[in-house]
């Protein structure tokens, strides 16, 4: 804030009084001769000599006041200058105190890397006095321990230092890592005349970063090992599921390969319907195990060449419930249970075991129902020969909206149509 300094100089007052004294003395002298006509006489121009005297008297009076004003202004200016010097000195002291209080090393160098100024933190860091640091010592001699700037240092190529630059270096003597920022100081002509260096000790940060990197690497290695173990476990799991499905199908020579064929058909339908990966994998496992409940069914019923009686049919219709019961204690197979339980439900509600209808039947169970029925129709059974693909396709469409979800039948028809055009194995029963 600029102060409004009001100063009355003693000299200026004396000069102004001297002017008044001259004017007053002459007026008194004139009054003794002219009395009341003094003012008229003073401004009379009849006598050139007296007129000149009057002009001199007035000029002396006015000059004295102008001189007094100038003396007073000079006094003000001197006071302001002295105050500015004090303010500059105070600012310099505050700047030095701030500079020395910075909790990391700061130095100022000229264009030739010579140290001009350093703060107390740098003095303590180097163990050198301020005089030693600023006695023709260069920054790279002190910090880089070289007779020229480090190649990584921005000052190594001065054309690249028009803006603040940063680089890291390691001091082997101190066994510490530093991050240095170098900022050019630009003069009014746009030229660089010095550089401000700020050195921050990042040893602790580097050590934490190293430990974090080691921990991250160890963590990723652990994840890699876990992933490998998970993949191995997944392969074992899949192999066990397939082995179990083969055991299920081995109950009868008529159903050998049925679970795998049904799984292939169900997977094709699921992909055609754009189901997500988790749903497809769940459906695959459910399709492989969908007839696990038949393990508890008598072989003579499964292989009976004649029509089943009511009791035998009721025993067969228990296999979805038995399958659910057999798998329910196994953790991780909970998503399969509703698919296995409801894969014989019909779209119109006339299926078993619970008589569910329409969308109340889980979607994956409806998909499995279509795939299971199709494979059964194109396969030999003890009570009939295989019906053929054309018959099976027409039967799926005939029973759409009654036995099967029509949207799923349409999706399967698209799969079969493409497979037929490509003469794919999916369209013909493999043996």
391-412 tens-digit pLDDT? 999 999 999 999 999 999 999 9
Say which DSSP state 35 is in: G
Q: What CATH superfamily is the domain 102-201?
A: PAS domain (3.30.450.20)
Candidates 3.10.129.10, 1.10.3210.10, 3.90.1150.10, 2.40.30.270; CATH matching 250-427: 1.10.3210.10
Residue-level pLDDT at 5? 47
Where the chain has pLDDT below 50, the residues are 1-5, 430-431
Q: What is the 3-state secondary structure (H, E, C) of 99-134?
A: HHHCCCEEEEEECCCEEEEECHHHHHHHCCCHHHHC
Instruction: Give whole-number Cα distances, 127 to 109, 110, 135, 362, in Å.
Output: 19, 22, 15, 79
Residue-level pLDDT at 54? 78
pTM: 0.48
Residue-level pLDDT at 431? 36
Residue-level pLDDT at 386? 80
Residue of 358, 357, 249 lying closest to 299 (CA atoms): 249
The answer to whether 327 and 296 have CB atoms below 8 angstroms apart is no
Residue-level pLDDT at 374? 94
Integer Rg of the chain from CA: 53
* 202 burial via Cβ count (<10 Å: 0-12, 13-18, 19+): middle
Residue-level pLDDT at 421? 63
Residue-level pLDDT at 166? 79
- In sequence order, the 6+-apart residues with CB closer than 8 A to the CB of 318 are 293, 297, 353
């Amino acid at each position: 804030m600029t102060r409004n300094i009001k100063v009355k100089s003693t000299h200026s007052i004396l000069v102004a009084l001297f002017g008044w004294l001259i004017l007053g003395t002459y007026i008194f002298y004139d009054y003794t001769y002219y009395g009341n006509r003094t003012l008229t006489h003073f401004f009379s121009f009849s006598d050139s000599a007296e007129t000149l005297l009057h002009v001199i008297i007035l000029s002396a009076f006015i000059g004295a006041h102008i001189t007094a004003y100038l003396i007073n202004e000079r006094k003000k200016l001197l006071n302001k200058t002295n105050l500015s010097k004090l303010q500059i000195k105070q600012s310099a002291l505050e700047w030095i105190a701030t500079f020395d209080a910075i909790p990391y090393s700061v130095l100022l160098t000229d264009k030739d890397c010579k140290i001009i100024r350093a703060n107390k933190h740098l003095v303590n860091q180097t163990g050198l006095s301020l005089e030693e640091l600023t006695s023709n010592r260069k920054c790279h001699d002190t910090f880089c321990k070289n007779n020229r700037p480090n190649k990584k240092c921005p000052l190594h190529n001065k054309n690249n230092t028009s803006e603040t630059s940063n680089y890291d270096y390691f001091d082997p003597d101190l066994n510490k890592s530093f991050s240095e920022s170098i900022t050019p100081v630009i003069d009014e002509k746009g030229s660089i005349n010095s550089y401000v260096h700020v050195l921050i000790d990042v040893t602790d940060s580097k050590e934490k970063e190293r430990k974090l990197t080691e921990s991250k690497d160890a963590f990723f290695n652990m994840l890699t090992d876990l992933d490998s173990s998970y993949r191995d476990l997944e392969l074992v799991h899949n192999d066990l599921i397939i082995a179990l499905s083969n055991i299920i199908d081995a109950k009868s020579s008529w159903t050998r390969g049925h679970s795998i064929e049904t799984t292939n058909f169900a997977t094709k339908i699921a992909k055609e319907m754009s189901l997500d990966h988790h749903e497809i994998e769940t459906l695959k496992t459910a399709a492989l195990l969908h007839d696990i409940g038949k393990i508890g069914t008598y072989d003579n019923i499964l292989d009976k060449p004649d029509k089943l009686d009511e009791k035998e049919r009721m025993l067969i219709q228990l296999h979805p419930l038995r399958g659910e019961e057999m798998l329910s204690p196994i953790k991780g197979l909970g998503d399969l249970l509703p698919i296995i339980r409801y894969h014989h439900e019909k779209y119109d509600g006339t299926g078993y075991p619970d008589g569910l209808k329409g969308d109340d039947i889980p979607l994956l169970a409806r998909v499995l129902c279509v795939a299971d029925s199709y494979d059964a129709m194109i396969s030999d059974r003890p009570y009939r020969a295989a019906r053929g693909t054309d018959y099976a396709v027409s039967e799926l469409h005939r029973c759409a909206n009654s036995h099967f979800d029509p949207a799923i039948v349409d999706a399967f028809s698209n799969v079969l149509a493409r497979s037929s055009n490509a003469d794919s194995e999916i369209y013909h029963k493999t043996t």
